[in-house]
């Protein structure tokens, strides 16, 4: 039987109270480095800098105006590649992506910056591609973690730049960047007691995105794993880049003909390919691209739908996990399902959304009939 919903709800409430009584400052690591990129840098140098420092995003700084100018993230690079593939020739794309200045991305230079001196006019890449514009948000470091988390969820930003003001010059100061991971890790470190109360399985809590038709009975030609975007080892990398860009997701499970999860292809993997210099490498198959992964790739984290939110938060405390692939296992296996078959995907925004409470407490979704059986078995 599931442990009491009451204990679960009270633990969640207590985590929310904790977030309301702490500021973004409190969640800063004891010591950290902040990489800020000047908007005059070209994309190639910016990428090198990100890779060299082992980060996947950075705040942008407009040094002419001494102002914060938004965030550069992996998804920007993905959109840029996608844009060039659509609009230009292969060679042109390869040559141009790298010389493009950060300030011409996303219409950053539409304000008072003259474009005539630069190689490129500013581009509204997101608009051209018909994808969402990244939000230009910010928060003061002394705002509460709860408000910061709400802002992250509402805008679906994965990170929130924290800006202060220099009292002498009046200029903006980029203090830090609060990521979804940092926030959840802060909870996992400080709400130990509460986490132990979160025993209810993830699927029952409706955390994550799941295959709609568990029997995969769909008309010929349709995706049996809908709404999950998947690929196989033979899919060209570019097709997956397209999925990233179009759906604003950062990972696609790689499955075999049986639906068994064999790997996960992530937006950061594309950056590794691009670093190797060859935009042509986007023509590679996923299997070939996976061979280029650095040997210290931490591995794909797999869970089953019976794993609990508490277990997940404990995992977040121990390692830098950004997403988990949910596979059929244990209960499903007993019912004759095959172990390792794709069931869903859980990302940090899914977890954060639940913890912060998009749905009010107690509104747990009724599990499907099968889950009920499991629960009582
Ligand atoms: P995050 O927002 O935590 O950075 P994503 O951008 O990858 O992670 O995920 C955004 C949303 O899309 C989440 O709700 C997640 O469950 C869902 N999602 C992630 N990957 C896929 C996928 N391959 N197919 C369908 N939905 C996905």
Place of tokens 């709800």: 9
pLDDT one-digit tens code per residue, 148-197: 999 999 888 888 999 999 888 888 999 999 999 999 999 999 999 999 99
Checking if the pLDDT of 214 tops 60, the result is yes
Which of 249, 264, 269 is the best mutation target for the ligand 1 pocket, counting ligand atoms within 8 Å of the beta carbon and taking the most? 249
Going by pLDDT thresholds of 50, 70 and 90, the confidence category of residue 328 is: confident
CA–centroid distance, 348 to ligand 1, in Å, is: 9
Place of tokens 């995907």: 345
CA–centroid distance, 118 to ligand 1, in Å, is: 36
Which of 159, 231, 342, 347 is the best mutation target for the ligand 1 pocket, counting ligand atoms within 8 Å of the beta carbon and taking the most? 347
pLDDT one-digit tens code per residue, 243-270: 998 888 999 999 999 899 999 999 888 8
What was the pLDDT predicted at 363? 42
- Residue 196 CB less than 6 A away from ligand 1: no
In ligand 1, which atom is closest to the CA atom of 229?
24
ipTM of the complex: 0.95
Higher pLDDT, 342 or 88: 342
How many Cβ atoms sit within 10 Å of the Cβ of residue 130? 8
How many Cβ atoms sit within 10 Å of the Cβ of residue 153? 18
pLDDT one-digit tens code per residue, 118-158: 344 455 666 666 666 666 788 899 999 999 999 999 888 88
pTM over 0.90: no
- Segment 320-339 mean pLDDT: 72
246-267: burial string, b at 16+ Cβ within 10 Å, e else: eeebbbbbbbeeebebbbbbbb
- Residue 209 CB less than 6 A away from ligand 1: yes
- Residue 266 CB less than 6 A away from ligand 1: no
Residues sharing a CB contact under 8 Å with residue 112, sequence separation 6 or more, in sequence order: 65
Averaged pLDDT of the chain: 81
Checking if the pLDDT of 228 tops 80, the result is yes
pLDDT one-digit tens code per residue, 299-312: 899 998 889 999 99
């Amino acid at each position: 039987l599931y442990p009491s919903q009451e204990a679960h709800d009270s633990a969640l409430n207590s985590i929310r109270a904790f977030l309301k009584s702490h500021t973004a400052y409190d969640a800063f690591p004891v010591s950290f480095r902040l990489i800020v990129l000047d908007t005059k840098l070209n994309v190639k140098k910016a990428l090198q800098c990100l890779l060299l420092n082992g980060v996947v995003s950075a705040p942008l700084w407009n040094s002419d105006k001494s102002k914060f100018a938004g965030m550069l993230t992996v998804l920007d690079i993905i959109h840029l590649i996608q844009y060039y593939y659509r609009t230009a020739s292969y060679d042109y794309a390869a040559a141009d992506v790298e010389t493009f200045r950060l300030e011409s991305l996303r219409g950053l230079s539409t304000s008072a910056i003259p474009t005539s001196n630069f190689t490129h006019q500013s581009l509204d890449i997101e608009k051209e591609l018909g994808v969402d514009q990244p939000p230009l948000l910010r928060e003061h470091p002394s705002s509460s973690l709860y408000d910061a988390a709400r802002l992250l969820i509402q805008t679906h930003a994965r990170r929130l730049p924290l800006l202060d003001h220099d009292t002498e010059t009046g200029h903006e100061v980029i203090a830090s960047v609060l990521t979804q991971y940092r926030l959840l890790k802060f909870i996992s470190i400080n709400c130990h007691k509460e986490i132990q109360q979160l025993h209810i399985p993830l699927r029952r809590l409706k955390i994550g995105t799941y295959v709609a038709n568990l029997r995969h009975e769909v008309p010929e030609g349709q995706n049996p794993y809908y709404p999950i975007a998947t690929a196989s080892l033979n899919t060209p990398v570019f097709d997956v880049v397209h999925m990233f860009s179009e759906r604003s997701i950062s990972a696609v499970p790689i499955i075999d003909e049986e639906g068994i999860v064999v790997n996960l292809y992530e937006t950061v993997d594309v950056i590794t390919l691009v670093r190797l210099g060859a935009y042509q490498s986007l023509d590679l198959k996923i299997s070939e691209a996976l061979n280029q992964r650095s040997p210290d790739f931490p591995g794909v984290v797999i869970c089953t739908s019976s794993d609990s939110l508490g277990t997940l938060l404990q995992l977040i405390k121990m390692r830098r996990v950004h997403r988990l692939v949910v596979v059929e296992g244990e209960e499903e296996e007993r019912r004759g399902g095959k172990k390792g078959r794709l069931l869903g995907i859980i990302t940090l925004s899914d977890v954060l959304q639940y913890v912060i409470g998009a749905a009010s407490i107690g509104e747990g979704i009724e599990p499907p009939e099968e889950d009920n059986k499991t629960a009582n078995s």
